[in-house]
Copies of this chain bind each other. A is one copy, B any other.
Amino acid sequence: MSTISTNPPSGMRDFPPEELACRRYIEKIIRKVYESYGFVEIETPAIENLSTLLGKYGEEGDQLIFRILHRREKLARALDGKPSESDLADSALRYDLTVPFARFIANNPKLPRFFKRYQIQSVWRADRPGKGRFREFCQCDVDIIGSNSVIAEAEVCGAVARVLKEVGLTEFNIHLNHRQLLRRLICLAQIPEQFEESSLVALDKLDKVGIEGVTKELRERGIEEGSAKKLIELTNSNSNDNRSEIERLKSAFVGDQEALGAISQLSEMLDYCNGSPASGHLKLDCSLARGLGYYTGPIFEIRVMDLKGSLGGGGRYDNLVGMFKGSPIPAVGFSIGFERLVLVAQEKKLMPYLSVGPDVLLCRFPDVEISEVIKTAEFFRDKGLKVEIFPEPSKLGKQLSYAGEIKVKVAGILGSDELREHKITLKQLETGEQINIRVDEATEKILSWIKTGKK
């Protein structure tokens, strides 16, 4: 037995208590903020029918789906012949939260006219594992469906900005662009329509590979040098002022109703956000492309100074969530990259002191009745304290050294003489300070020691 590896499978993680406490802390902020914007939570199952998932994530995505092997008769039947992959599975693990959400919407026809849902669940992708890239990871999505108003865009950006601020990030931007504007920019650069998708894919890498890299990729994808340069010139403005950027774009597109419509939506959105946590963090960025093909309007992406890549992104995608229902439903969504956010908060030392484990360890002299120890523990638990009881009849020194091992801040020591007077000895492990106090007055003392002892 002991030869079996006890590591989690490749790309999967165990979370020990301290690590999990950090995750819970971030999750709690996200949950609270999302709810403060009126979003309601749903959950969907880990396993979906394969037919629900296939064809939604591109060919590459389909390859990364974890399929569930048939069992018993179904498997036997498949193995009887010469099976192919599709004969061996008809269900699979959730790959993202958007497609299950679209299924949920189709399956729940009585949702309110505007449905604001959030969803915080794991997804699974059979990607090559790497630093910061996992095969099971958590997504935190908010979506507003049912409205065409740019208020929806402003609200999801506000919610996400508030999350980042509450985590303690100050130096972040939400880059902002518009799919229709991008299309018109590509057209203005005289790139033929059939190169639109591949231009977006190339442009999306500006952040990572720079101007030269993108130019090179545009050329490789068959776009003429003049057009490639023109596209980069048009999209890569160095303006840090959203208003002057709006003006620049307006004058570039005089008479182009589609482009002007998109620009005016962006302008509206910037206005709306004046009173929102996103204010001062929105950055109009015509080079932002977002790889996914399904966006139809404004798109956004979180960038943090001195950090490559993004902490999340989203946009308007009016044709996706209605796919199972058979009719388009306007939708705007934003997804926070939970794993990265936890990592950034840890690296930037934004985590507060998180209490993991008990506040108090109850120790005892051998003459004390166990039921009295348990009674005392329950008394403190009633007061909201987290209490562990040392379970064995060891010497006091050993009990106290265990207190050190689990890093508890306070030990409560019970002796039978003291207990007769309803008293307990409290010891602050960090300082060694020790007092004898009535049990019913001890809670306050313990709380004060826990607070001052933060580190």
| A-to-B contact residues, CB < 8 Å | 1-2, 4-9, 12-17, 20-21, 24, 35-38, 40-49, 51-52, 63, 66-69, 71-72, 75, 79, 83-85, 88-89, 91, 93, 103-104, 106-108, 112-114, 116-117, 122, 124, 126, 135-136, 144, 147-149, 151-152, 154-155, 158, 162, 268, 271-277, 323-326, 356-358, 361, 370-376, 378, 381, 384-393, 402, 405-406
Contact = CB atoms under 8 A, between A and B. Distances in A.
Contacts of A376: 275
Given A9-B91, A116-B388, A405-B113, A124 B67 contact: no
Nearest to A372: B275
Contacts of A13: 45
B275 A48 contact: no
A112 B405 contact: yes
A41 B126 CA distance: 27
27 contacts: A4-B324, A5-B49, A8-B45, A14-B45, A16-B108, A17-B40, A20-B41, A20-B42, A36-B381, A36-B385, A36-B387, A37-B386, A38-B357, A46-B93, A46-B122, A47-B66, A47-B124, A66-B69, A69-B69, A69-B88, A112-B406, A114-B388, A151-B392, A272-B371, A273-B374, A275-B371, A275-B372
A378 B324 contact: no
B147 A391 contact: yes
A246 B195 CA distance: 84
Contacts of A390: 114
Enumerate the 9 nearest inter-chain pairs by beta-carbon distance, A residue then B residue, closest first: A275-B375, A38-B388, A12-B45, A38-B358, A17-B40, A2-B326, A6-B107, A147-B391, A6-B106
Nearest to A65: B71
Given A374-B276, A387-B37, A388-B37, A47 B113 contact: no
A327 B213 CA distance: 57
Contact of A114 (B37, B151, B325, B402): B402
User: How many chain copies does the complex carry?
Assistant: 2
A370 B151 contact: yes
Nearest to A393: B149
B402 A112 contact: yes
Dominant secondary structure of chain A at its interface with chain B: mixed
B42 A392 contact: no
Contacts of A2: 106, 324-326
A104 B406 CA distance: 18
Contacts of A51: 4
A47 B405 contact: no
A108 B18 CA distance: 13
Between A149, A323, A372, A385, the greatest number of chain B beta carbons within 10 A of the residue's beta carbon is seen for: A149
A181 B97 CA distance: 51
Given A40-B357, A42-B15, A381-B162, A389 B155 contact: yes
Contacts of A388: 37-38, 114, 116
Given A68-B67, A326-B2, A405-B113, A151 B391 contact: yes
B136 A45 contact: yes
A386 B35 contact: yes
B326 A147 contact: no
A321 to B, nearest CB: 12
A393 B149 CA distance: 9
B402 A113 contact: yes
Between A45, A75, A326, the greatest number of chain B beta carbons within 10 A of the residue's beta carbon is seen for: A45
Contact of A136 (B21, B47, B273): B47
B9 A48 contact: yes
Contact of A40 (B71, B356, B371): B356
Contact of A272 (B17, B79, B374): B374
A117 B15 CA distance: 12
B370 A71 contact: no
